[in-house]
Amino acid sequence: MGAVRVPLTAHCVVLSLLQMVAVSSEQFIVNGLQSPVLVPLGGNLELSCQLSPPQQAKHMEIRWFRNRYTEPIYLYRNGKDLLGETISKYVERTELVKDDIGRGRVTLRIFKVTADDDGSYHCFFKDDKFYEEHIILVNVVATSSDIQILMHAPNTKGVMLECHSRGWFPEPHMEWRDSNGVLIPATSKSHSQDENKIFTMKTSLLIEAKSHWNVTCYIQNPVTHQEESISVVLPGELFSWKIIWIMILSILSILLITFQMTYSIKEHLIHGIFQKVLSPTLNKNQCDPDKSEGSLEFLEEIALLIHQDCGVAQNCGNPETLLFHQIFATIECSCSPENSDTIKFLLQVINVTPQVSRINPDAIELLLEIIELTVRVSSMNPVFFNAHIPIESS
């Protein structure tokens, strides 16, 4: 059989069809900025993307979004900016520059960048049913020169240093180093974020005697690697025994003064109660109820002190047997119970004293001393105590 001759025009038609199929299967790709793009906190961000090959994009849909396609931060379709379909927090802070849209190039501007703007951005082009996108990673960064060291008063263990710095994003790296640049393990580390997600960093270091005299606190942004530092030099005499002994003596002096003040106040209170409760007419032969009635109000204050965490009306447990035995052991005299309203009230207060750890031990001790003073200058029949004090059996 002979060869079939195809006209030249038929070849041209076939080639044109093949080219059309190729173009329709891959009409364009989207190029953009290389990631990551760094932007300072509070600055303005510009993200550009370009169709390749260059072509008219005015009739296309151009969508910028973060993590979700359905939540665009900017939407352009058929020549219109659809602000009503974008996330509200971006409406006032974004604009799409379309000066070169005839060649398929657009730029998204974001004003007053915050820490929330950190992350990935999708530049999405759609022409009829064909679409492509380009993803750009954005790093928001913030650094600070506000760094300081706080030195606490030295003690027997050494000197505690605290390094503080605020105004960082993302979370920076913080460490201590000696004069030779050798890393010193921190005693503690902590951080916090404010409502704008900006970090405040804190690290502490205990400098012991005869250890590091010259230390430096370093803080570094993990994205930009920008670093800030501050050093402190500690004098050797800071740890001398003379200074340590002075500190010890100072602490002991404070404790002694506190004890003396507490004892003085306690003695004054006992003396006042003694003067109010115990009348000179109370002796071995008489307990004057008229002299006792005026002291009931003062004794109520004692009751409140004892029951400051557990009211009399509350069911707080059984009476404390040991306390009753101690009170009973202080009885040295006897007195007619009918003429001793003060002692009756005092016993009533004690009877409702619960056996719980919340009772103020100082108040109980004070009450015992008052009762001891009472029975030493008055007479009371032990039978009266037995009748009013419920002693628990062991």
- Does residue 372 share a domain with residue 260? yes
pLDDT the model gives residue 245: 60
Q: Does residue 11 fall inside a structural domain?
A: no
Is there a single domain that holds both residue 333 and residue 272? Answer: yes
- With beta carbons less than 8 A apart as the criterion, state whether 282 and 291 touch: yes
Mean pLDDT, residues 184-212 taken together? 89
Return all residues near 5 (Cβ < 8 A) that are at least 6 apart.
none
Residues 285 and 215 in one domain: no
CATH number of the structural domain spanning residue 135:
2.60.40.10
Average per-residue pLDDT in the chain?
Answer: 72
Same domain membership, residue 259 and residue 207: no
Do 135 and 166 belong to one domain? no
**Domain limits at 27?**
23-141
List the single range of 181-185, 211-215, 381-385 with lowest mean pLDDT: 381-385
Residue 364 within a domain: yes
Instruction: Report if residue 12 sits inside a domain.
Output: no
Which pLDDT value is given to residue 266? 53
pLDDT of 35: 84
Does residue 10 form part of some domain? no
The length of the chain in residues reads 394
Residues 196 and 279 in one domain: no
DSSP E strand boundaries for 169-291: 173-178, 183-184, 188-193, 199-207, 214-220, 227-233
Q: pLDDT tens for residues 256-307?
A: 777 666 656 555 555 554 454 444 433 433 444 444 443 444 444 545 544 4
Position 158 scores a pLDDT of 79
For residues 106 and 120, membership in a common domain is answered with yes
pLDDT at 122: 97
262 and 339 belong to one structural domain? yes
Tokens representing 260? Answer: 């003396």
Does residue 263 share a domain with residue 232?
no
Q: Are residues 331 and 368 located together in one domain of the fold? A: yes
Work out the average pLDDT over 125-151: 94
For every residue of 129-169, DSSP letters joined together read TEEEEEEEEEEEEB----EEEEEPPP-SS-EEEEEEEEEEB
Single residue among 90, 118, 141 that ends a domain in this structure: 141
pLDDT at residue 48 greater than cutoff 80 = yes
Q: Which of 178, 124, 361 shows the shortest CA–CA distance to 262? A: 361
User: How far is Cα 12 from Cα 21, in angstroms, rounded to an integer?
Assistant: 14
Mean pLDDT of 143-166: 88
pLDDT given at position 356: 39
Would you state the pLDDT for residue 72?
96
What is the pLDDT, as a whole number, of residue 381?
43
**Between 275 and 192, where is the model more confident?**
192
Please, which residues have CB within 8 angstroms of residue 33's CB and are 6 or more apart in sequence?
Answer: 47, 48, 49, 136
On the CB side of 110, CA atoms within 13 Å amount to 24
Assess contact for 109 and 45: CB atoms under 8 A.
Answer: yes
Same domain, residue pair 131 and 156: no
Per-residue pLDDT tens digits for 323-373: 444 444 443 333 444 435 555 555 555 554 444 334 455 555 666 666 656
Output the CA angle 288-319-303, nearest 5 degrees. Answer: 50
Closest CA to 363 of 269, 294, 292: 269
Confidence band, pLDDT 50/70/90 cuts, at residue 12: very low
- Give pLDDT, residue 343: 55
Tally the domains of the chain: 3
Q: Between 365 and 86, whose confidence is greater?
A: 86
pLDDT at 257: 76
Choosing from 92, 110, 141, the residue where a domain stops is 141
Over residues 42-55, the mean pLDDT reads: 96
Residue 351 lies in a domain: yes
Residues 91, 194 within the same domain: no
Top pLDDT among 143 and 16 is at: 143
132-136 average pLDDT score: 96
